[in-house]
Amino acid sequence: MAEPETTEDEAFGITDRLVSDVLDAVGRGDGTYLSDVLDPMHAADVAHLLEQIDARDRRALLVAWPGGLEGEILSELDEELREEVIEQLAPSELADAVRDLESDDVVDLVEYLDDAQQEAVLDALDASDRVVVEQALTYPEESAGRHMQSELVRAPEHWTVGEAIDYLRSDVVLPEQFYHIILVDPRLKATGYVTLGRILSHPRDTPLRDLTEDTFRTFHVAQDVEEVAQAINHYHMITAPVIDDDERIVGVITIDDAMAFLEEEAEEDILRLAGISEGSLSDRVIATTKRRFPWLAVNLVTAIFASLVISLFEETIAGLVALAVLMPIVASMGGNAGTQSLTVAVRALATRDLTTANVWRVIKREVLVGLINGLIFAVVMGVVGVVWFGSPMLGVVIAVAMVINMVVAGLAGTVIPVVLEKLGVDPALASGAFVTTVTDVVGFFAFLGLAAMWLL
């Protein structure tokens, strides 16, 4: 991931130089420069640029830029920034911006707006588009129905290649991008799909039903959109057809949306594992502080809990201060080994590699790994204990405590996420606190307890 600056700049359209040039133009209110630079730019790049600058500059830029904001740019923006930018737009500007978006992008945009803003956007849409968006908003938040685009191309299953081409060449309104034609029976039930490549490469009289893909599969509007995205990745699908209760085709989820969605999910998992719930780099200090706070508070409670364990052994420590010096090592090694196990388990649960079929094998493996690494580090630490403090028994105590804690780390690191998942609690968010509490408590208890028994 470490590349020289120049290559990074090549990949996306935004260079540091460009950002500072744009900020200069904003500073002197140079609308012509801004139009020249920003109007031809890809919406994703403009959004990326807006994310790079701070809130004050963003406001000034939107005022100074006469071209104004297209809907595409709004779609590409970080969710938090989107709200900030939309608040700045007049209802009519907002309406202009959204009119050309695909239905799924409109839904994505309006779902978290306040009622007045939402109404302004919906009013700007054609009656038929409005119905589609309002329908999508009736599906649950993370469902396929909420995230599908309704623009798609379907054809009666008895059509031929020639009929399909004539239909596409007629004045029908086509989606911006489409890669399949979905075949439907007279009841609009989806029965298969044909790639455009196959249509183009066969004679006009070929029946479409002879060209369908055998990997065709459909998804229900109520299905979790993350599952659909994972299936798209798993089966290398470009278009995932979404059907309603009557098996009628009502929309599609396209691979580019699925890709963006999986990226966001992985991102969320990474942040959750570090104890941060959502958030982006452009958040302000107070929002960020609030997001970081809960996990730190949980950690404080678990740390105090570990301290209570230590306080049980105050007399032991008073008798041999070397124990206070060495005890964090046992807890820290257990914590790290536990984090390794739990990270593997959390990701394997997310990607469905960890299932009832192999959970026991994985637990057994993690415990064994903990045991082997524990034994190796026990020998090392035993030697350190002897050399540093000149006490063979202290070496034995730290070695045994190390083995115990690392075995427990492997066990807790796997069992805790699995149990949390079974209980319906997000293992990415909650596992860390539980696992480190276990390894801290076990680490301090084993080390100080053994010391109390064997050393004093």
* Residues numbered 70-109 forming contacts with a second copy, rule: CB under 8 A: none
Residue 201 as a binder of a second copy (CB under 8 A): the answer is: yes
Please write down the HEC assignment for all residues of the chain: CCCCHHHHHHHCCCCHHHHHHHHHHHHCCCHHHHHHHHCCCCHHHHHHHHHHCCHHHHHHHHHHCCCCCCHHHHHHCCHHHHHHHHHHCCHHHHHHHHCCCCHHHHHHHHCCCCHHHHHHHHHHCCHHHHHHHHHHHCCCCCEHHHHCECCCCEEECCCEHHHHHHHHHCCCCCCCCCCEEEEECCCCEEEEEEEHHHHHCCCCCCEHHHHCCCCCCCEECCCEHHHHHHHHHHCCCCEEEEECCCCEEEEEEEHHHHHHHHHHHHHHHHHHHCCCCCCCCCCCHHHHHHHHHHHHHHHHHHHHHHHHHHHCCHHHHHHCCHHHHHHHHHHHHHHHHHHHHHHHHHHHHHCCCCCCCCHHHHHHHHHHHHHHHHHHHHHHHHHHHHHHHCCHHHHHHHHHHHHHHHHHHHHHHHHHHHHHHHCCCCHHHHHHHHHHHHHHHHHHHHHHHHHHHHCC
Binder among 122, 306, 404, 416 for a second copy (CB under 8 A):
306
Q: How many other CB atoms are found less than 10 A from the CB of residue 261?
A: 20
Closest CA to 281 of 31, 53, 443, 100: 53
**Which CB sits closer to a second copy, 95 or 168?**
168
Residue 134 as a binder of a second copy (CB under 8 A): the answer is: no
Minimum distance, C-beta of residue 300 to a second copy, in the bound complex (Å)? 6
**Which CB sits closer to a second copy, 381 or 438?**
381
Tell me how far apart the alpha carbons of residues 62 and 55 are, in angstroms, rounded to a whole number: 11
Minimum distance, C-beta of residue 149 to a second copy, in the bound complex (Å)? 12
**Which CB sits closer to a second copy, 117 or 254?**
254
Binder among 131, 174, 383, 456 for a second copy (CB under 8 A):
174
Minimum distance, C-beta of residue 295 to a second copy, in the bound complex (Å)? 7
Minimum distance, C-beta of residue 85 to a second copy, in the bound complex (Å)? 17
Binder among 62, 95, 137, 196 for a second copy (CB under 8 A):
196
Tell me how far apart the alpha carbons of residues 62 and 94 are, in angstroms, rounded to a whole number: 13
Binder among 81, 183, 317, 363 for a second copy (CB under 8 A):
317
Minimum distance, C-beta of residue 62 to a second copy, in the bound complex (Å)? 18
Minimum distance, C-beta of residue 319 to a second copy, in the bound complex (Å)? 10
Residue 169 as a binder of a second copy (CB under 8 A): the answer is: yes
Structure tokens at 45: 């790049």
> 403-424 burial string, b = 16+ CB within 10 Å, else e?
bbbbbbbbbbbbbbbbebbeee
Residue 226 as a binder of a second copy (CB under 8 A): the answer is: yes
Minimum distance, C-beta of residue 134 to a second copy, in the bound complex (Å)? 25
60-68, 116-124, 133-141, 319-327 -> range binding a second copy (CB under 8 A):
319-327
Q: How many residues does the chain have?
A: 456
Minimum distance, C-beta of residue 95 to a second copy, in the bound complex (Å)? 24
Residue 431 as a binder of a second copy (CB under 8 A): the answer is: no
Site for a second copy in 17-46 (CB under 8 A): 19-20, 42, 44
Residue 412 as a binder of a second copy (CB under 8 A): the answer is: no
Site for a second copy in 236-295 (CB under 8 A): 236-238, 255-256, 258-260, 262-263, 265-267, 269-271, 273-276, 279-281, 284-285, 288-289, 292-293, 295
Binder among 37, 137, 188, 303 for a second copy (CB under 8 A):
303
User: Total residues at the site for a second copy (CB under 8 A)?
Assistant: 143
Residue 202 as a binder of a second copy (CB under 8 A): the answer is: yes
Site for a second copy in 334-373 (CB under 8 A): 336-337, 339-340, 342-344, 347-358, 361-362, 365, 368-369, 372-373
**Which CB sits closer to a second copy, 116 or 281?**
281
Minimum distance, C-beta of residue 346 to a second copy, in the bound complex (Å)? 8
Minimum distance, C-beta of residue 38 to a second copy, in the bound complex (Å)? 15
Site for a second copy in 42-61 (CB under 8 A): 42, 44, 48, 51-54
84-92, 111-119, 124-132, 333-341 -> range binding a second copy (CB under 8 A):
333-341
Minimum distance, C-beta of residue 367 to a second copy, in the bound complex (Å)? 10
Minimum distance, C-beta of residue 91 to a second copy, in the bound complex (Å)? 28
Region of residue 237 (phi > 0: left; psi between -120 and 50: alpha; otherwise: beta): beta
Structure tokens at 72: 């595409």
